[in-house]
Structure 1
Amino acid sequence: MAATTAQPMGSLPSGLGICTTAPDIFYLPELVFGGLVWILVASTHVDPPNPLGWVMFVSVFCFVMTFLWMIIFAAGGHKNSSGWAAADFAYHGLAAFFYLSAAVDLAYITFLKKDGSEYRIYQIDIAAVVFAYVATLLYFIHVILSSIRWKNF
């Protein structure tokens, strides 16, 4: 049996421990896929502005908040408090819900534009939809693991 450096689910990691423990190992993939959604949507013509504005808000908000959350955990600002475990669960639940709504909006708008737009723009939009659903999945997995950690705290 291999030795592990992972902390028990009833404690919050700090420092480089966030790179080796679940659910905190999902911070970097959430940043990567959320950033890709942000970049791909921003690189196309935002039309119609209302649903795609929501997608941009969600991708930027979640990117910034996840980065700040990761920095707080890496710096040990949580002081291994159960309140931070609850806040981690709440934030990632909200982020998963936001990303799901943004991914559905983006998929619908992309579906409507399949015949009328330039093919390259359509391909970029398809990639953004795929990455939005991957980000949704990552945040959802993070929520499940955060709820288990919070329950075991």
Structure 2
Amino acid sequence: MGEQIFGCWVWILVAATHVANPLLQGWVMYVSLTSFLISLMFLLSYLIGFYKRYESWRVLDSLYHGTTSILYMSAAVLQAHATIVSETNDLNNYFINTAASFFAFVTTLVYILHAFSIYYH
């Protein structure tokens, strides 16, 4: 649940800035939005009770969160680069990009922790 909240913040903050590097921040938007939607589907599946029916639920959940953490790490690094580049353009965009970078790294950490906690639980 935490990864969805932080990922939503990344998505909102990147959307609120003037996009200086469309390719870099496009990847950040794609990863954050796609991860948010798939994580929401996992949450709904969990609430419905699919995890009780299938033995491989933990493996699937751990693989998804592990893969997403790798994708989010790449997005966080690209967002940090976009933040460094935006420093010279506009101070307001710089602060928003800084917050987006922070939340991207926090989201990456939460996905990693979720993947390991499911796997070792």
For 2:99, give the aligned amino acid. A
Identity of matched residues, %: 37
State the alpha-carbon separation in 1 of the partners of residues 15 and 29 from structure 2: 7
Q: What is residue 144 of structure 1 aligned with on the other side?
A: 116
Structure 2: runs of 5 or more not aligned: none
Equivalent residue number for residue 60 of structure 1:
33
Asked if the contact 2:20–2:86 (Cα under 8 Å) also holds between the matched residues in 1, the reply is no
Pairs within 5 Å for 1:70-109? 70-109=43-82
Partner of 1:17: none
CA distance in 2, matches of 1:113, 1:73: 40
Equivalent position of 1:134 in the other structure:
106
The one-letter code of the counterpart of 2:112 is F
Provide Cα deviations, 1:46-71, integer angstroms capped at 9, x if missing partner.
22111110000000001001111000
Distance in structure 2 (CA, Å) of the matches to 1:82 and 1:100: 29
RMSD of Structure 2 on Structure 1 (CA): 1.0
Unaligned runs of 5+ in 1: 1-26
Preserved contact between residue 86 and residue 93 of structure 2 (Cα < 8 Å) = no
TM-score (norm 1): 0.76
In 1, the alpha carbon distance for the partners of 2:72 and 2:14 equals: 14
Structure 1 position 80, deviation (Å): 4.5
Q: Aligned partners of 1:118, 1:49: CA distance in 2, in Å?
A: 16
CA distance in 1, matches of 2:15, 2:58: 33
Runs of 4+ in 1 over 4 A off after TM superposition: none
Higher helix proportion (structure 1 or 2): 2
TM-score of the superposition, structure 2-length normalised? 0.95
